[in-house]
Amino acid sequence: MEPTNTNNPATQDEVSNELLGRETLTRLMPQLLALRSDELQQITADVRSVVATILGALPKIRTYREAIQKTIPDFDIGAIEVLENAAVALHQADNDYLAAAGPSDEFDEWIEEAEHLRELLIADSNSLALRGLVNGSQLDELRGANGHKNLATDLGVLATVLRSSWDRIQGKTAVQAEELARAEKLSLHIVRNVGLRAQSAPVVAEATEVRARSYTFALRSYDKLRRALSYLRWAEGDLEKIAPSVFANRVSRRKQPEPATDPTALAGASLSEPSSTSSAAAGAAGTAPKATAAPGSEPFVDE
């Protein structure tokens, strides 16, 4: 691994962001762990897009801080700072998940190369065995191509069989000494990587759960502010321009849900319950009652 270049401004920014994300995730962990398992939302939106949407909306959301406090006095305006922290923590949790569970391009390349090399060596070994130049009975030890461990074992066996008869087969086969060395190296790489993956299973499971908790917490935090803005800006109907749905690119947009009749209810309402529909509130805002969005179409409407 190459040493970190601390003189590179870009590298310094990456390190700072990593430290900030780690610190924020650690600070929010008690709140994340307080979520019940049955409350965790299924990740149905691209996590990076969710983070980008939230952080992109924050500057506009902050401009309505005083208006929200004035219109909804009991609303916890600290929710804005919580939302920023939630987005940063989610980004870090997603990075941790990808690092633990993400596919290894290098490993996939090893497997592809190993499968091709195995086919070549088997074809050459069978031909040499028919000519009595290698011990064909040793080929009975081959496990077959199913499974990474079997693939690694077969490469090792084939390399051993051919190498042990190298004096007899050299110059009489297309097999190259470099191929045998590569087969042995790939066999070791694959076995070692399979072992590491097995040992990292608990780490992957933990990263997956933390990511799900961070995702749920971030969506709930965003939902809380979207509800307040929905009430505040109901007459203008510009909620999506201020704080767009994180699902905007996944499903067609629906009309805003009806605001709560009592604005103070926004401060104490359960985050898992949608805002109540009120024809009276709609009439007071100068608009006709609107249909409530279908369950699941917006992050603040639960199924």
Least confident of 69-83, 171-185, 197-211: 197-211
pLDDT at 250: 55
Distance CA 42, CA 297 (A): 14
Q: Which residue has the higher pLDDT, 282 or 189?
A: 189
- Answer yes or no: do 154 and 224 share one domain: no
How crowded is the C-beta side of 156, counted as CA atoms within 13 Å?
13
pLDDT at 101: 73
Q: Categorize the per-residue pLDDT at 251 as very low, low, confident or very high, splitting at 50, 70 and 90.
A: very low
Residue 244, C-beta contacts closer than 8 angstroms, at least 6 positions apart? 53, 57
Residue 279 belongs to a domain = no
- Report DSSP state, residue 224: H
Mean pLDDT of 173-202: 84
Q: Which residue has the higher pLDDT, 58 or 17?
A: 58
Q: Which tokens go with 82?
A: 């919580």
pLDDT at 190: 87
- Answer yes or no: do 181 and 125 share one domain: yes
How crowded is the C-beta side of 146, counted as CA atoms within 13 Å?
0
- Answer yes or no: do 159 and 99 share one domain: no
Q: Categorize the per-residue pLDDT at 28 as very low, low, confident or very high, splitting at 50, 70 and 90.
A: very high
Residue 29 belongs to a domain = yes
Residue 264 belongs to a domain = no
The string of pLDDT tens digits covering residues 142-175 is 877 678 889 999 999 999 999 999 999 988 899 9
Q: Categorize the per-residue pLDDT at 60 as very low, low, confident or very high, splitting at 50, 70 and 90.
A: very high
pLDDT of residue 275 exceeding 60, the answer is no
DSSP string, 110-161: HHHHHHHHHHHHHHHHHHHHHTTSS-GGGGGG---SSSHHHHHHHHHHHHHH
pLDDT at 140: 81
Average pLDDT score, the chain: 79
Residue 286 backbone phi and psi in degrees, to 5:
85, 20
- Answer yes or no: do 215 and 99 share one domain: yes
- Answer yes or no: do 141 and 15 share one domain: no
- Answer yes or no: do 226 and 92 share one domain: yes
- Answer yes or no: do 126 and 171 share one domain: yes
- Answer yes or no: do 114 and 95 share one domain: no
Share of the chain residues as helix, strand and coil, in percent rounded to the nearest 5: 65, 0, 35
pLDDT at 277: 35
Tokens 């195995």, residue located = 118
- Answer yes or no: do 220 and 194 share one domain: no
**At residue 100, what is the residue type?**
A
Mean pLDDT of 256-285: 41
- Answer yes or no: do 95 and 114 share one domain: no
- Answer yes or no: do 115 and 144 share one domain: yes
Print the domain residue range for 66: 9-103+204-250
Count up the domains in the chain and report the number: 2
pLDDT of residue 284 exceeding 60, the answer is no
Residue 170 belongs to a domain = yes
Q: What percent of the chain has pLDDT over 70?
A: 73
Residue 4 belongs to a domain = no
Residue 121, C-beta contacts closer than 8 angstroms, at least 6 positions apart? 155, 158, 159, 162, 175, 179, 183
- Answer yes or no: do 33 and 83 share one domain: yes
The string of pLDDT tens digits covering residues 77-111 is 999 999 999 999 999 999 999 888 765 667 778 88
pLDDT at 114: 92
Q: Which residue has the higher pLDDT, 195 or 54?
A: 54
